Amino acid sequence: MKQLDVSAIKDGSVIDHIDSKSTLKVADILNIQNEEQMVLVGINLTSKFLGKKGIIKIGGKIIDQKEVNKIALIAPDATVNIIKDYEVVKKFKVAVPDVIEGIVKCFNPNCVSNHHKITPKLHVINKNPIKLQCHYCERIMNSKDILLI
Amino acid sequence: MTGFKQKDIISIRHFNKEELLSILDLAQRMEQTDSADLLKGKVLASLFFEPSTRTRLSFESAMKRLGGMVIGFAESGSTSASKGESLSDSVRIIEGYCDIIVLRHYLEGSAQLASDIVNIPVINAGDGANQHPTQTFLDLYTIQKTKGTLEGLTVGFLGDLKYGRTVHSLAYALAYFGAEMFFISPPSLRMPRDCIDELRDRKVKCHESESLMGISKRLDVIYCTRIQKERFADPVEYEKVRGVYRLSKTLLEEMGIKEDLKILHPLPRVDEMDDSLDTTNYAVYFQQARNGLPMRKAILAAVLGAIV
């Protein structure tokens, strides 16, 4: 019987197929340091598709859509599994939405969205590799420019 | 002109080639026909949070010549903005006093923010270093009038290409017309990388250099810009690049230029163009400034639905 690299969880969320280098960024998005139940983080695990992958298992937490949207920007190949009583009850691949509101800050310091109390809004002009355009100042951002809120 | 009725004019990106040509055509008609009462009873709010001479005065003159009225301010010191009122609140309130807003603001994206808030048309008269679409309309109009065509020209952009919003907008628009573009600037004021990438994505032939030498003979148009002191946070950085280009009649003729070269400049100029150019056939920048009037008459009439 194959032994799991990372132990199974009874209830919660598993974020799989994360690009290994982005795993800790995803952990940061999920704010895992404030979780009270078990959190398992695996990096450089063997993957058929990615070669090496990262995985995060969070006990007792169902991740929300805002977190999924953020993860999609950092790890576009990630999949999410929702676990109940050791069974996968829901499985989906993260997807970058067409418009991103309130989760990424425009990187232009002179953009109106960085000076007024408005929700930053960016249009996704390319999904992989990610390319975003600020709704207000029209500046185009690549993945290296992304500043998550 | 149904494409313009009640439309916000925020960015040149929001216009296709056909729409650009239709507004140029209307500006031409505005020069040739009497349109004194077209906007009678309409009120324009002219909100200039940053200094302007040509843009503000030509919009205000255009509105008055079309029979409309103008309210507004030329600097924000005398407004509630100086008391800390947000731009969002200001435009929400002013919307109740007018039919159309012309806005210049130092923050990039401010015109888009205003247009998202109000239900009347907003015209961007310059938002920081981002866009100045109506300047682009009149630049295109000037090129078309003086060169006889917009198609297939070789255009050199010279000066402050980093902060020069008119350059970004015009380059984007000329891409519709198959222009080849040379961007000539000091290294610290180069055309932003994302603008170059976007132009190349649109199959524009783009070249960058620090000098006109070896290029001048190929150019049909030079679009010269002022190095803008007000955009530099550090005065030392400004001093390093001020006066780096000084075009004169002698210099251009020594380098070699096409006889029918046209030189545009959105003005004001400082020392980048010598007075010796003013009386040559190359200089069209004063005509360009005058073209602001028919173009802005065309824009106001089309957006307010007076031209069907």
pLDDT tens-digit readout, A91-121: 999 999 999 999 899 999 999 999 999 999 9
- pLDDT, residue B22, reads 96
Res B271 pLDDT > 70: yes
* Sheet of strand A130-134, all strands in order from the earlier edge strand to the far edge: A99-101, A121-127, A130-134, A140-142
Exactly one of B56, B65, B105, B132 is catalytic; name it.
Answer: B132
Any chain A CB within 8 A of the CB of B86?
yes
Q: Compute the count of residue pairs across chains A and B with CB atoms less than 8 Å apart.
A: 55
Burial class (CB in 10 A: 0-12, 13-18, 19+), B170: buried
- pLDDT, residue B270, reads 86
Best B10, B85, B107 residue to mutate vs chain A (most A CBs within 10 Å): B107
Mean pLDDT across chain A, nearest whole number? 91
Contact B210, B182 (CB under 8 A): no
Q: For residue range B40-59, list pLDDT tens digits in order.
A: 999 999 999 998 999 999 99
3-state secondary structure of A34: helix
- pLDDT, residue B35, reads 83
Residues of A in contact with B127 (CB under 8 A): 112, 137
- pLDDT, residue B112, reads 98
- Confidence class of residue A4 from pLDDT cuts 50, 70 and 90? low
- pLDDT, residue B263, reads 97
Set out the domains of chain A in order of their start, with CATH numbers: 12-93 (3.30.70.140), 99-148 (2.30.30.20)
- A12-26: average pLDDT: 93
Residue B83 annotated to the active site? yes
- pLDDT, residue A129, reads 85
- pLDDT, residue B278, reads 96
- B267-286: average pLDDT: 93
Set out the domains of chain B in order of their start, with CATH numbers: 2-132+292-303 (3.40.50.1370), 133-289 (3.40.50.1370)
Q: For residue range B4-28, list pLDDT tens digits in order.
A: 999 999 999 999 999 999 999 999 9
Distance from CA of A103 to the nearest CA of B (A): 18
- Confidence class of residue A88 from pLDDT cuts 50, 70 and 90? very high
CA–CA dist B19, B83 (Å, integer): 40
Res B228 pLDDT > 80: no
* Angle of CA points B265, B128, B235, to nearest 5°: 80
Q: Please state, for a pLDDT cut of 70, what percent of chain B lies above it.
A: 98
Q: For residue range B154-200, list pLDDT tens digits in order.
A: 999 999 999 888 999 999 999 999 999 999 999 989 999 889 999 99
- pLDDT, residue A2, reads 59
Residue B262 annotated to the active site? no
Any chain B CB within 8 A of the CB of A143?
no
Interface contact flag, B109 A140, Cβ < 8 Å: no
Residues of B in contact with A109 (CB under 8 A): none
Q: For residue range B111-134, list pLDDT tens digits in order.
A: 999 999 999 999 999 999 899 999
- Confidence class of residue B308 from pLDDT cuts 50, 70 and 90? low
Q: Please state, for a pLDDT cut of 90, what percent of chain B lies above it.
A: 80
- pLDDT, residue A148, reads 86
Say which of A112, A117, A140 has its CB closest to residue B109. Answer: A112
Res B1 pLDDT > 70: no
Res A1 pLDDT > 60: no
Any chain B CB within 8 A of the CB of A139?
yes
- Confidence class of residue B291 from pLDDT cuts 50, 70 and 90? very high
Contact B264, B247 (CB under 8 A): no
Any chain B CB within 8 A of the CB of A123?
no
Cis peptide before B186 (omega within 30 of 0): no
Say which of B87, B130, B197 has its CB closest to residue A137. Answer: B130
Burial class (CB in 10 A: 0-12, 13-18, 19+), B140: buried
Q: Please state, for a pLDDT cut of 70, what percent of chain A lies above it.
A: 96
Interface of B with A in 139-178 (CB under 8 A): none
- pTM given for the model: 0.87
Q: For residue range B55-110, list pLDDT tens digits in order.
A: 999 999 999 999 999 999 998 777 777 777 899 999 999 999 999 999 999 999 99
Residue partners of B194: CB distance under 8 A and separation at least 6? A139, A140
Res B234 pLDDT > 80: no
